[in-house]
Structures are given as structure tokens and as C-alpha cells.
Amino acid sequence: PLNDDTKNEQNKHMHSMQELMPDTYKELCDIRSILEKNYHDMLDIEFTIQDGKLYMLQCRVGKRTGVAALTMAMDMLKEGLIDDSEVVMRISPAQLDELLHPILDAADEKKHTVLAKGLPAGPGGAVGVIALTSEKAKEYQAAKIKNILVREETNPEDVEGMRAADGILTARGGMTSHAALVARGWGKCCIVGCDAVKIDMNAGTVTMNGKTFKEGDVISLNGSKGYVYGTAVKTMDASENPALQKFMKLVDKYRKMKIRTNADNPADAAQALKFGAEGIGLFRTEHMFYGKNSEKPLFLLRQMILAKDVKEREAILAKLGVYVKASVKDTMKVMNGKPVVFRLLDPPLHEFVPQDEAKQKELAAALKIDVKEVRERGEGLHEVNPMMGHRGVRLGVTYPEVSKMQFKAIFEATAELHKEGFNPKPEIMVPVTCSVNELKFQKKLCDEVFEQVKKATGDKKLSYMFGTMIEIPRAALLADEMAEVAEFFSFGTNDMTQMGFGFSRDDIGAFMGDYLDKKILPADPFQTLDQDGIGQLVQIGTMLGRDTRPNLEVGICGEHGGDAESVKFCYFNGLDYVSCSPFRVPIARLAAAQAAIEEERSAKKCKCGKCK
């Protein structure tokens, strides 16, 4: 050991270098201080001692964990070794991520063998018993037993089980699959696309690379690396660090770009505010039909889908609008004074019609119709490629009454909040657009409803912004036309990547690993924005849109909003904000601040007066 501080159980009986060679030890410490002051960092220093003489061999910047990186940077700031801009640059987004999630204890993790590997969809670590169904996950949670939901893939009906689980492991799916999106939104550890996972529901077992586990057996996940362990690995919570709060204040000192969050309920909105979100860039109205307290609105939605004519549909929508208004109102109340972008109903309707026979019978009985009608309606809505089918704005064109209901709910909620002393800032976003005529059609409906609500409520402060989600390449290429109507653009980079590459975001797990291993692609384009291809569409859309409307507000709301490299790309291309999952907000804040510092440093280096 070098000194008493570095003694451990294995070497505590030995004399230290400090004891045996005090002069040489002092010389080494002095040189260490000189090197650290010169490099302004903690270093790995290599040396040797021959015949009592100290020889320095080499030094390099030392590796460190997220907690260590933060502690060192803040200590060096106190010592005057670095300034606060350098503190911000010293912490990588990956290191900051460690501070926000429970993680596996690195020392203990080394003692265990990796059993299987998948895609790291939700960072952090999780240890718990296997739950093969959402019901079992909820049962374990009720008994206060940490558990990991293991599924082939998840769907909206699994949401409550996913909420109850401490970690999620799926055999299929990519970085923007249902499991990945939900898990990241909640800051929950998740591994997807782990093809080693073989589930036998009849036997109640999971097999991974020859090892079989029963429901109730313990496994561990490293969501930051995509590693699965067949044993319990120790965890640690690195987030309870007061230095983190001080650090984030320094981050915001340099950050220029706004950071919003993707949130669909008051709880997620409140969590995002704690992490520093400055608004909601994506409120998905359809999420009120999934999970907790969704039974009544989902029933009305299904009833509306099965309506025989417009009159019947409007009557049901009037009842459904009460729930939509309550949902948007509660979230705007939490975000008081901050903008909230409401995306109109986006998924194809067939997703909401039950496919399970028992649930079809249950719905038929509740509606007092023959189960055959439910089945036939579901089959009638089936599409070969629903991601490119009858969804988004297309629903609003076919069923304008559905759009009107949402407009009315948002405006009435806004007026009610004004009366209660709040300051709501609604922004209405029309999804899946490809033509300015779609926007003109929806804007006309929106303005009609706006005037009706304004007259009925007498609210003179009632206002809103109208915009669109640019997720189809054609919309980006015709952005100058879209901006004639849209006051803001939000790039939906998940779907834009899917359509641009021709990759199904739910099925890429089967081949993306090969593409990355063989260096056909530098990164998963659903995780880090493809700047060469999809990035060009963002650049073109922003440029053309602002040619028409110079004050056009532009952001992104795809999962790329929480990826550091993608955030920097957005900053350097003049976007006003990025929006991401609540637990990714601090990472986006850091990436935006680092981009601003990089820009400032580049400007100081160049004296030509022409470069940015």
C-alpha cells in the first residue's frame, strides 16, 4: 500500500511506502500535486522506484464513476483549480445518468457472470423476482416484493404491471418499443430485444442461455449496459448527493436552449418539474385510456368507436369530453405558467378495440349489443400497416367531431383554470400531417370551437398556440407551406426515423445488433438521431418553416430529446427546445449547457469574425 489510507483487509498487515520510504513517498506526492495542477484533473500516475530513485513513467486522466466525477469537479472548483464552465464540461451525460437512477454496485457486479445481453432501454439497475404477468407484478408490489416483469413484449394493457415492476425485461423490441418508451418515461430500468429470453407460460418458466428460472426466482438487470444476471447483485442509490443540486445550478447558468418533458399526467409532470423541466413538449391524450383510472374513459372511447352514426358518436363524445377535460386540466394546473403541448389523439382506433374474446363479450354485454358486432367492428378497423394508416390527423378528417371534442376540452379546462387563478398555456399539436390542407381543415374547426368557448365562458384571456408534429418526410420538405398555418413545429423524430430508414421501430431488435457490430450504422438511429439523413430533414424543416414564419417555435419531442448528442445537434441547428422523458430532463439540460459552452469556446478560438 502507498499509505495507511489505501490499506485494506488483504494488505493491512503490510508496511506502506509512506512508512518504509518517507522521502520517496513525499517526492511522489509533490510530483502528483504538480501534475494535477498542470492538467487540472485527477490522474492515473505510473512510476517505478529503482535503487531508491523515483522514476515517473506516464500519466493520463483517470477514469471515475458518476458520483466520483461530480465530487471531484465540485472540489476542484472550491480549490480554484477549474472554473464553473469546466465543472459543467467535466461530467458526461452518462455519468449524470448514474446519479439519477439506482445502479448495480460495480464492485459486486464484477463477481457475477453476465447471463444474457439485450438493448439498454432504461438506465440504472434492478434486482427482483421474476413476474411473468402484469397481475403477478402487481401482486408482488402489494406484498412489497421487488420484481422484474419479463415478457415477450409489452403492450398498453401491461402498463399497470410495468408500473408495479422494479425492472422490465423483454425478448423483443427496440429502443423505441412500447416497453422502452414507458420505462424511460418513468426512469425505470429496462432491457429490451434480449433474444436469449425464452418464456414458457404453460410451465411458468424463463430460459436464458440454457439456464431455467421459475416465476419468483431472482435475477438482476443492468439497464445501462443491457446485461442480465441470473443472481442477485447488490444495488446502490447514488442520487442522494447535495452536490448534484449545486451542479445543476451551474448547468443552467450556461444553458440557453429550453428543456421540456414528455408527460401525460400530473404525477409525471410534477416529477419533471423537480428535474427542471420548463414545460411539456408532448402530452399524449390517448394515454388517459391506459392504466390507472382508465376504465370509464376507455369504455366511452370504445362505445364511440362502435357508434353507428355521427349523432350517436357526438352524444358519446360529450360524455368522454368530461374525462379529457379533467385530464388536461389537472396537468396544466401542475405546470402553471409553463407551456403544455397537447397532441391530438394519435393511435389507430383498432388499438382500443379489445382483441381478447372475454373482453369482447364484456364490452358487448355493457353496450347491450351482440358480441359479433364488437368482433366485426374490430376486424373492420384492422390495417395491414397501422403505423401508416388511419391515425392522427386522418382520424380528425374522417371524424371531425373527435377533434372538436378535444379542442373544447382543452379550452374549457383553460378557462376554468383562469377563474381559479392559474396561468395555463395550452399549445395544440396536430400529429401525422403531410399537407397544409390538413392543418387548414383542423384550424378552422379549432377556431370555431375556440370562439364558442370564449363566448360561453366570457374568458377574455383565453388563447392558444396551434402547431403540428413534423414526423413525415413530406411535411419537412413542405415546411414553408405548413408554417402558413402552424405557429410551432415539433419534430416527432421517432416516426420520422422509422419512415426515413424504412425500419419498424418495434422489430429492429432482430437485426440492429448486427448492424452495430458490423459497423453498418454507427449507432441505433432510434436512440441517437441520424444527423446525416434524418437530421437533414430537421434542418430543412426548420429553415423552410422560419422562412415563412420567422418567429416559428421549433422543438423535438421524440426520444432523441433525451440523448446528449441529439440535443447538441438541436442546439447548433437553432431549435428552441427539446422535450424528453422526465428522468432524462437533467441529461438534456447538461447536454444543452455543454453545447453552449462549446460554441462559446469555439468563438473565442476563431478571430476571423465570420465564423459562428
Share of the chain above pLDDT 90, in %: 71
Lowest-confidence segment of 71-85, 449-463, 496-510, 529-543 by average pLDDT: 496-510
Helix (H) or strand (E) holding 469: strand 465-470
According to DSSP, the residues that pair with 119 across neighbouring strands are: 192
- Least Cα distance to 343 among 280, 293, 415 occurs for 280
At residue 36, does pLDDT exceed 70?
yes
What is the model's pLDDT at position 9? 58
Residue with cell 421474476: 130
What is the model's pLDDT at position 394? 95
C-alpha distances (whole Å) from 273 to each of 253, 268, 335, 572 are 18, 9, 8, 25
Gap between the Cα atoms of 190 and 228, Å rounded: 10
User: In this structure, what are the phi and psi dihedrals at residue 50, rounded to the nearest 5 degrees?
Assistant: -130, 125
Report pLDDT digits (tens) over 262-312.
999 999 999 999 999 999 999 999 888 887 788 889 888 888 888 888 998
* 59 in catalytic set: no
Residue with cell 426515423: 497
- Least Cα distance to 236 among 222, 216, 248 occurs for 222
At residue 342, does pLDDT exceed 90?
yes
What mean pLDDT is reported for the chain?
Answer: 91
- Count Cβ atoms below 10 Å from residue 93 Cβ, excluding itself: 21
Answer yes or no: are the C-beta atoms of 393 and 344 closer than 8 Å: yes
According to DSSP, the residues that pair with 214 across neighbouring strands are: 205
Predicted confidence band at 567 (pLDDT cuts at 50, 70, 90)? very high
Answer yes or no: are the C-beta atoms of 143 and 166 closer than 8 Å: no
What is the model's pLDDT at position 10? 64
Gap between the Cα atoms of 327 and 325, Å rounded: 5
- What's the farthest any 2 CA atoms get from each other in the chain? 98
Mean pLDDT (whole number) for 382-386 = 72
Predicted confidence band at 381 (pLDDT cuts at 50, 70, 90)? confident
Gap between the Cα atoms of 554 and 537, Å rounded: 13
- Least Cα distance to 222 among 101, 131, 66, 136 occurs for 101
* 557 in catalytic set: yes
Predicted confidence band at 113 (pLDDT cuts at 50, 70, 90)? very high
Mean pLDDT (whole number) for 403-421 = 97
According to DSSP, the residues that pair with 168 across neighbouring strands are: 149, 190
What is the model's pLDDT at position 580? 95
Catalytic residue of the set 101, 178, 350, 560:
178
Answer yes or no: are the C-beta atoms of 343 and 284 closer than 8 Å: yes
Catalytic residue of the set 434, 557, 570, 580:
557
Cell of 20: 518504509
Share of the chain above pLDDT 70, in %: 97
At residue 388, does pLDDT exceed 90?
no
- Count Cβ atoms below 10 Å from residue 330 Cβ, excluding itself: 15
What is the model's pLDDT at position 461? 96
Predicted confidence band at 8 (pLDDT cuts at 50, 70, 90)? low
C-alpha distances (whole Å) from 256 to each of 251, 491, 575, 585, 600 are 10, 19, 11, 14, 12
What is the model's pLDDT at position 81? 92
Gap between the Cα atoms of 235 and 94, Å rounded: 18
Gap between the Cα atoms of 557 and 342, Å rounded: 12
What is the model's pLDDT at position 611? 56
Predicted confidence band at 608 (pLDDT cuts at 50, 70, 90)? low
What is the model's pLDDT at position 405? 96
- Least Cα distance to 213 among 104, 116, 353 occurs for 116
